Structure formats: structure tokens, C-alpha cells
Structure 1
Amino acid sequence: MSRKKFISEVFKSTGTIGALSPSSSFLAKKMLAPIDFDNAKCIVEFGPGTGVFTKALLKKMSPDAKLLTFEINTAFIDELKTIEDHRLEIINDSAEKIKQYIEAAGFTSVDYIVSSLPFAVIPDEIVHRILTNSDDNLSENGRFIQFQYSLNAKKKLESYFSEVKINFTPFNLPPAFVYNCKK
């Protein structure tokens, strides 16, 4: 997707897209660093956008793993559909509904959730349901990995997860914080 088309989607999105440009490869590397790809069988991605993290995840995932992506923007869904990989399932629905989709895919829990959701612009009650359902559906050693452009999400994430570590990448536009959250 061109940068011009991406920016057009940002302005049409009514607050569901929190970035002004696609994520960088530097941010993707930091987001994927905590993932044990040898043992991950079910990975969920919230807000894949144009698929920067999606493609990076698929490159590293084992052949028998599954990636469920939740995206509500139809232009981004069309972009994601150009990725040809049998392990990828594109879901046009809210991340709140994680449980029904992981069960439909034959899983009882998720090993990792990689999230690009812009919590600062999503209503608090929806963020609460997303984080509650994420925590409820993570495996015992599962991780919720989220990026944001500020440290404002730290206290919120600490109220849902037992451990929250923060990493930073200046090589993204804008620079980003990566939250690595343990169940």
C-alpha cells in the first residue's frame, strides 16, 4: 500500500488507526524479539494494518503454527489478502472477540498476542474488554506484546498483566515504546 493511500485511510478511519505511517522494520524486530517461534503454535495479531508485522511473523513461524489477525479496516484487509500463506487467517472483527475465533481455529489458548491497537483513541470500555479477553486467553507462559507512541499505557497494562517490560525504538516514525507483558 502506498504511503498516500495509508494516510488517506488514517483520515477516513475515525480514530481506529493510530499511526501516520506504516511501522518500520526496526519496530517489527523489537515487537517479535520476545517470541519463541520454535514453540509458538497460535499467534494472534491485533490491528495488522498493512501487514508489516504479519509478514515478519510468517517468515519466522513454524510450518504448523497459525496466525489469526484481527483487522476492521477494509482497505487494510484487502492489502492483507495479498499475503498468500495457509497459516494466516484474516478476521474482519473486533479484537474483543478473540475467544470465539481461537476456539473456531481449534485452540484453547494463545501463545502470543502482537498488538498495534491505538489504545489512546479507543474507548476505555473496549480497551478493557480487549485486555481482559487477551489475558484470559493467553497460555500460562503467554505474552501480550503491544506498541504505543507514549508511556501512557503502562499503568493500564500493569493492571492486567503480572509483568510489564518496556523497550524503545527511536527508529520508527514516530519513535515507539514496546510493552512486553506476561500473563
Structure 2
Amino acid sequence: MSLNDTMHLLRAWLRDPRSVGALAPSGPALARLMTAHVDHAHGPVIELGPGTGVFTRALLERGLPGHRLVLVETDPVLASTLAQRYRHARVLRMDAARLGRSSSLFGDERASAVISGLPLLSIPADKVAAIIEGVFERQLQQGGALYQFTYGLRCPVPRALRQRLGLEAERIGGAWLNLPPAWVWRIRRP
């Protein structure tokens, strides 16, 4: 993590505190855990709230071709930085809550995985519902999974929402070396 990336996040937080979940980029242990189960051979990948691109870098290092990756970022400065840094990926400056109003981001193909760095616990419940519904109803292929990290012990996708959409959540590990420590959840339809 660079000082420049930390400054980008701090400025984004100052512009909109509810849209940024941490004041420093996620660490390499969390990035490895978030991307370890993503098999890009089954389809493209969407990243929600990529921030400075820590998970993006991990996905590309795992062999995901850049043109098979869409980054959804609301902050204009972070989106611009991502577009310069990851030229082969498609960067969309949009609110992830609009995913349900969009057709698949990959044309006729749907994503095999969605990696989310969104701070779901600080986002209003109706917006969380719109994000999760959009992911599972419009963007994610059958059998695909949403990978979400949180600093809390519980799944950040509310149980009532999971039940309504027929989703199951499984905690797949913790990144103790991350500051603060974080847990990763895999959410999918059985």
C-alpha cells in the first residue's frame, strides 16, 4: 500500500464518508482471501467499490485478463485513478445500487463472481437490498458467488434479505493481519 493510495482514500472519505469503509487500503492478506476462490475460467468478474484497486491487482495477478473485469466505483477521483492504473479493465463510475437497472455488464454473458469492497454496514438498508438484488438478479450467473468482506463478525448482508432472495452465506476466512482484521463471506444461491 502506498502513501498516495492512502491519501486517495482519505480524500474520498472526506468527500463522502458513508461511501468509504476504511481510511487505508486493504492489506495483501485480505486481498488474497477475497480472490482465492474466484475461478475466472467460468466467466468474467465484477468488482464493486474497488477503491484504490487492491483486490483488482490480486485478481489480475491470479490470471484474470483485464478485459474480463468491470470495476464499479462511485467516487470520481478513485474511478479516474483506476482507469489510468488498469487500462484493460472497464471502469464504470456509477452507484452499485443501479446494477439491477442495467443489463449484464458483459453483454450476453454474466459474471462468475462479484468481489465487493463496499461498506455494506454503513449503507442504508434499501440501498443494500438494491445492490444485492441487482447482483443476483441481473449480473451474476447461476452458481456464481458474491465475495464480501466486513470488519464485523456477522454477515453484512441481512438475514431477512438473504432469505427473501434464497441466498446462503458462508464465512470463508479471516485476515488477521489486515488493519483492522476482516472476515470474508461467500454469498450464493444454493
TM range (shorter): 0.7 to 0.9
Change (3 A) 1:120 1:126: same
Change (3 A) 1:110 1:8: same
Cα deviation, residue 95, structure 1: 1.1
For residue 80 of structure 1, give the secondary structure of its aligned residue in structure 2. helix
Cα deviation, residue 163, structure 1: 2.5
1:34-65 CA-partner distances (Å, limit 9, x unpaired): 1113x232110000000111111122244486
Normalised by the length of structure 2, the TM-score is 0.84
Structure with the higher fraction of residues in helix conformation: 2
Change (3 A) 1:75 1:164: same
For residue 21 of structure 2, give the secondary structure of its aligned residue in structure 1. coil
Gaps of 5+ in 2: none
Aligned to 2:98: 97
Q: Which moved more, 1:25-34 or 1:106-115?
A: 106-115
Aligned-partner residue type, residue 115 of structure 2:
V
Gaps of 5+ in 1: none
Percent of pairs with identical residues: 27
Change (3 A) 1:65 1:78: closer
Normalised by the length of structure 1, the TM-score is 0.87
Question: Would you say the 8 A contact 2:121–2:156 is kept in 1?
Answer: no
Aligned to 1:177: 183
2:19 equivalent to 1:16:
yes
Aligned to 2:134: 133
Change (3 A) 1:161 1:71: farther
Paired residues, number:
181
Change (3 A) 1:132 1:2: closer
Aligned to 1:142: 144
Cα deviation, residue 33, structure 1: 1.1
Give the aligned CA root-mean-square deviation in angstroms. Answer: 2.2
Cα deviation, residue 106, structure 1: 1.5
